[in-house]
Structure 1
Amino acid sequence: MSLTVPNGGARKRKRTDAVVPARLLKSRDLKDRKVTQSRKEEILWWEQQLVHDFRQRDENIVKLQNCLSEVKKKPKTSTLAAVALCRVFCRLIASEQLIRRPTDDQDNAGWLKLQLREYTGTLLHWIGTPDEFLKSTALTLVMRIVKAETSQEWKRAEQAWRTDRSTFYSLVATLLATPNAQDAIQEFVEKYVEEFDDVRFYTMLAIKQFFSAGDNRTPGNLDNALDLLKQVEGVPESDEQLEDWYGVSPDVKGHQLLSLNAHLKIAQDCWLSIFRSALTASNRKTILNIMTERILPWFSNRMEILTDFLTDSFNESGSVALLALSGIFHLMTQRNLDYPDFYTKLYSLLDENILHTKHRSRFFRLLDQFMASSHLPAALVASFIKRLARLSLQAPPGAIVWVVPWVYNLLRKHPTCTFMLHRPYHPAHAIYSSQPKYTEEGMDDPFDPLQSDPMLTHAIESSLWELRSLQEHWHPNVATLAKILGEQFTKKEYQLEDFLDHGYATLIEAELGKGMKKKPEVEWEIPKRIVTDDAGGLNEIGVLLRDAIQV
């Protein structure tokens, strides 16, 4: 049995577990040979018999199959039997003994297929065990069987990849349906899906076939499918990049494995089968988190389906809506998608809870990305600045320390909004002329916080008095930072990453970490005694305390 080695060559496997004398390999000796070795040596001996005398084939295969059932009591023995059976079945497949012939009266090929199916079923069951070594061993041995089956004549190899009764489909279905199979999924992706173009192609085909059955669309199966797909990083960019094959090389002219469009289409169908399932909020978050890096590269067309999914996700509101906007923004900037309501929907996310959520840092990063363009209308920018300034009045200090430098950066980028900071009196100014008694009665803020369209809030006609009030904030860091908006704008911009991930814990830690330049002075003398006098008796406080106890 030849095994593939890392350098691409092949060498015969050396057995160091047991040495069988050459004279015992003769068929006449094998028949009368009595098994006197240990269980481990027996397994190797049964395999040797299978190689040199196929009259012992059926009996020894059954013996090795029985060893697999001892995995709980004797895991090492069962593993050795599994490896031996793998070599046996690979030889049988390579010698075409699992193909039924017209002269096969006893249907030996059918019996061997049943034994192979039983063997792979046992290995697939091991994938669900908590033993990491058994999982890895089972995955490796099953993929060796797949290697043998897909290295046959082309039509049979194609059948071994595609049919829902094949070893490969059974493996993918097991990975999707087995709870806590993350380790096996990761190994499968790293060793096979990412390395071989045909494995990636038929894995996505198998996932599509698996979810075509409605009974398989359970939350656990979807979690495993997403766990597998989100690890697939390699997206081919041309037909020339399709050159790494695990099975037989597709030399047939015009075969779909040689077509980039076929790979893109099967990946799209795979993802669409997941989109059409009953996704939970957790599933949607996972999909939206990997949308730009793992999903969009496969979709060169059919973008309307992705747009519908993203729109439906936004309608769920909350963090899911924010993640959906991230995908829509990518389609707008990278794929020229027309989505005129993007900033209106983004503005609607700025509510009283957004600065208090645990996803605040992620929201800030995305918001800064969305507002990075210098071509945005000044009225729209002013609405976002005003809304966050209003929300900062009730925000925790960790959020305010990000809002202030973010406003600073936006004002630098959009100079037409800077007059919101300070407006000295001028009789011709619309605000003062409309409210001549502002000194006695004050004036109303023209900003409309209930307006959903950021272009119609009149924020640009208002002022950032909220940020001015933050200069009197109870936290000294917030008060100091807010004062930068009342000074000269000499700094080009602030690095907002320096202000993210702040909370009460980090702010308190920073205060406690400051060195004390001068010890505080106290205005009273600390007494040496509390309830007694110098003579040892009770003082006034002691007498009062005694009387209170007696009462």
Structure 2
Amino acid sequence: MPGLLTNGAAAGKRKRTDDVARTNGLKARKAPKVATNGDSTQATILQLEEQILESRKHYNNIVELQSLVNSVETKPKTATLAAVALCRVFCRLVASDELVKRNGASEADDQVVQWLKARLRAFVEVLSTSWIGSTDATQESTALTLIMRIVKEETSQGSKRSDQAWRTERSTFNTLVTALLEKPEAEGARQEFVEKFVEEHDDVRFYMFGAIRQHMKSLADEDEEDDIVTGHAIELLSQVEGVPGSQEELEDWYGEPPAEKKHQLLSLNAHRKAAQEAWLTVFRSPLNRDHRKAILNIATTRILPWFATRIELLTDFLTDSFNAGGSLSLLALSSIFHLMTQRNLDYPDFYTKLYSLLDGDIMHSKHRSRFFRLLDTFMSSTHLPAAMVASYIKRLARLSLEAPPGAIVWVVPWVYNMLKKHPACTFMLHRAYHPAHAIYSINPDFAEQGMPNDTFSMSEPDPSHTGAIDSSLWELHTLESHYHPNVATLAKILSEQFTKRDYQLEDFLDHSYATLVDAELGKIEMKKTPVVEWEIPKRIVTEEGNGLNRMGSLLQAAMISL
């Protein structure tokens, strides 16, 4: 216990000085530093690493470090320290050409090279199979960083050796891509790989396309196609946003920069071809609905920019997706329309296929709003034939008779806008009598019997031959008596003068029973109080006096008959 120094005024702790130690016949010395278990382990790992780099005779330390890496389940911190040390070791060995066979080397030296290559493959295999896809996000991120650090060293050893390091099937880079494709729990690693490496470096993106194509092709050749691998390939490819627009943009390299002016990494066409081959390999694999939906959702933004050529191959995929039916048909038509308007694709059956989607189900579908938006876009041209436009108007009017109010409140303004764009179709609103006209010739007694025969054919698949242009929009006139007051009021706009320029259709989308009811209940004041005729009867089966009333007599007769 330290003594107290008292000077009469104050007291304080006194330190043992060297002079005091000498007077006691003792030498001054520092207290020994007690190393904790963590510090001891780190020092051991650093010592093993230094010994490996000092002399070949310590190469067996690599095996000891690998055993520590394999203990990641029980000792994660120790395994991480050992993995980082091994990464530094292999990077220095690669940089010093210790993993390359030399001309004239002895057989023993060749065996050492082969042994080092095997150790490197084993290290990368552990990181890619055990660490990638781990529930520990930090561990997964560490593995990805270490593997890509080795890739950088391997691909910076001259053009020929770098190209082999990118392309060889058992290379570090291909091993990583394979793990990203096969590991179901590696969503974070796939996203980080794309964000940090693929999007930042042109060579990583180029060779990733090749690795994906190569891996999926090998699975197809062996009849081992897997939905999981296909889904992960779509996930990786769909996250690539940086599409180079010119060869001057190809300038960011992760490995050895291309030395030759005609190198494929400097060719924009080569990059596009690599992306096309990767996507086409995905298209040729067995795709389920979820896969197709994921592809179609990004077709115009992430896939089409790569297909400057060979658009017909992409069109075949879109046509097959349309034939799958449902929401896939709508998504496929959206991409085809983009090709028609942006790439001058000749697709004469587009409006016939779009017309086939107009059925009763679409009016009740949860994708109705999206369909209406796209329909308005597809029909926005003023150069469409009037006969075809009339078919769309008439078919939607017919479907509105059995549609929910939320759909009708969009159809009516849309018809209004279409009639403004195509005046030739306005005759469908007010068809003046003419004995030679088709609708009157097939209904000669229309004044007495009405018009039971309509020239419009709902079963005709071709919108150019439905006969709608010779019909009338009696369906919309019928909607003026709709049970919902909003629908009835809206339908009357077609009976008035067309003084409004057009309607903003976005204001009428996303309506449902709930929104329409809420709008009515949200009204604070009523212009007119509704009349309620309801009176609670005093008696149900008897009269005021004695005996049964009419209801009671009927009930009595029914009971007697039983």
TM-score class, shorter-chain normalisation, is 0.7 to 0.9
Which residue does 1:370 correspond to in 2?
Answer: 378
Contact 2:456–2:471 (CA under 8 A) maintained in structure 1: yes
SS at match of 1:266: helix
Contact 2:41–2:78 (CA under 8 A) maintained in structure 1: no
Q: Does 1:109 align with 2:121?
A: no
Give the drift of 1:418. 1.5
Which residue does 1:81 correspond to in 2?
Answer: 82
SS at match of 1:212: helix
1:492 to 495, 501, 525: 501
Which residue does 1:512 correspond to in 2?
Answer: 521
Give the drift of 1:425. 4.5
Which amino acid counterpart does residue 196 of structure 1 have in structure 2? H
Which residue does 2:230 correspond to in 1?
Answer: 222
Which residue does 1:65 correspond to in 2?
Answer: 66
Distance, in Å, in 2 between the alignment partners of 1:162 and 1:119 is 19
Give the drift of 1:430. 5.2
Matches within 5 A, 1:112-151: 112-125=116-129, 126-151=131-156
Which amino acid counterpart does residue 98 of structure 2 have in structure 1? Q
Matches within 5 A, 1:109-258: 109-125=113-129, 126-213=131-218, 214=220, 215-258=223-266
Which residue does 1:267 correspond to in 2?
Answer: 275
Which residue does 1:359 correspond to in 2?
Answer: 367
Q: Does 1:423 align with 2:431?
A: yes
Size of the aligned set, in residue pairs, is: 494
Distance, in Å, in 2 between the alignment partners of 1:386 and 1:44 is 83
Which residue does 1:391 correspond to in 2?
Answer: 399
Distance, in Å, in 1 between the alignment partners of 2:494 and 2:322 is 34
**More moved, 192-201 vs 500-509:** 500-509
Q: Does 1:309 align with 2:317?
A: yes
Which amino acid counterpart does residue 72 of structure 2 have in structure 1? V
Contact 1:49–1:56 (CA under 8 A) maintained in structure 2: no
**More moved, 483-492 vs 445-454:** 483-492
**More moved, 488-497 vs 86-95:** 488-497
Give the drift of 1:408. 1.5
When residues 159 and 435 of structure 1 are mapped into structure 2, their CA distance, relative to the original with a 3 A threshold, is same
Contact 1:397–1:475 (CA under 8 A) maintained in structure 2: yes
- Per-residue CA shift, 1:304-361, capped at 9, x if unaligned? 2122222222222222222222222222222222221111111111122111222222
Contact 2:433–2:440 (CA under 8 A) maintained in structure 1: yes
- Per-residue CA shift, 1:275-326, capped at 9, x if unaligned? 1111112212222222221112111222221222222222222222222222
When residues 56 and 465 of structure 1 are mapped into structure 2, their CA distance, relative to the original with a 3 A threshold, is farther
CA RMSD of aligned residues (A): 2.4
When residues 329 and 108 of structure 1 are mapped into structure 2, their CA distance, relative to the original with a 3 A threshold, is same
Give the drift of 1:392. 1.2
When residues 216 and 158 of structure 1 are mapped into structure 2, their CA distance, relative to the original with a 3 A threshold, is farther
Distance, in Å, in 2 between the alignment partners of 1:295 and 1:446 is 44
| Structure 2: runs of 5 or more not aligned | 1-33, 537-562
Give the drift of 1:491. 2.3
**More moved, 147-156 vs 491-500:** 491-500
Give the drift of 1:36. 5.8
**More moved, 437-446 vs 482-491:** 482-491
| Structure 1: runs of 5 or more not aligned | 1-34, 527-551
Which amino acid counterpart does residue 212 of structure 1 have in structure 2? K
SS at match of 2:239: coil
- Per-residue CA shift, 1:31-53, capped at 9, x if unaligned? xxxx9652454234433443363
Which residue does 2:41 correspond to in 1?
Answer: 42
SS at match of 2:364: coil
Q: Does 1:280 align with 2:288?
A: yes
SS at match of 2:300: helix
Contact 2:159–2:259 (CA under 8 A) maintained in structure 1: no
Contact 2:396–2:411 (CA under 8 A) maintained in structure 1: yes
Contact 2:134–2:185 (CA under 8 A) maintained in structure 1: no
When residues 491 and 51 of structure 1 are mapped into structure 2, their CA distance, relative to the original with a 3 A threshold, is farther
Which amino acid counterpart does residue 449 of structure 2 have in structure 1? E
Distance, in Å, in 2 between the alignment partners of 1:517 and 1:262 is 70
Which residue does 2:96 correspond to in 1?
Answer: 95
SS at match of 1:250: coil
Give the drift of 1:426. 5.7
Give the drift of 1:148. 1.1
When residues 497 and 458 of structure 1 are mapped into structure 2, their CA distance, relative to the original with a 3 A threshold, is same
When residues 521 and 312 of structure 1 are mapped into structure 2, their CA distance, relative to the original with a 3 A threshold, is closer
Contact 2:166–2:174 (CA under 8 A) maintained in structure 1: yes
SS at match of 2:382: coil
Which residue does 1:458 correspond to in 2?
Answer: 467
When residues 41 and 468 of structure 1 are mapped into structure 2, their CA distance, relative to the original with a 3 A threshold, is farther
TM (normalized to structure 2)? 0.83
Q: Which runs of 4+ in 1 moved over 6 A?
A: 518-526
SS at match of 2:303: helix
Distance, in Å, in 2 between the alignment partners of 1:182 and 1:105 is 44
- Give the share of equivalent positions with the same residue, in percent: 64
Give the drift of 1:451. 0.8
SS at match of 1:491: coil
Distance, in Å, in 2 between the alignment partners of 1:175 and 1:290 is 21
Distance, in Å, in 1 between the alignment partners of 2:139 and 2:454 is 69
Which residue does 1:21 correspond to in 2?
Answer: none
When residues 520 and 434 of structure 1 are mapped into structure 2, their CA distance, relative to the original with a 3 A threshold, is closer
Q: Quick check: which has more Rg, 1 or 2?
A: 2
Which amino acid counterpart does residue 160 of structure 2 have in structure 1? K
**More moved, 324-333 vs 428-437:** 428-437
Distance, in Å, in 1 between the alignment partners of 2:392 and 2:170 is 57
Distance, in Å, in 2 between the alignment partners of 1:523 and 1:381 is 48
Give the drift of 1:446. 1.1
Give the drift of 1:262. 0.8
Which amino acid counterpart does residue 159 of structure 1 have in structure 2? Q
Distance, in Å, in 2 between the alignment partners of 1:523 and 1:430 is 49
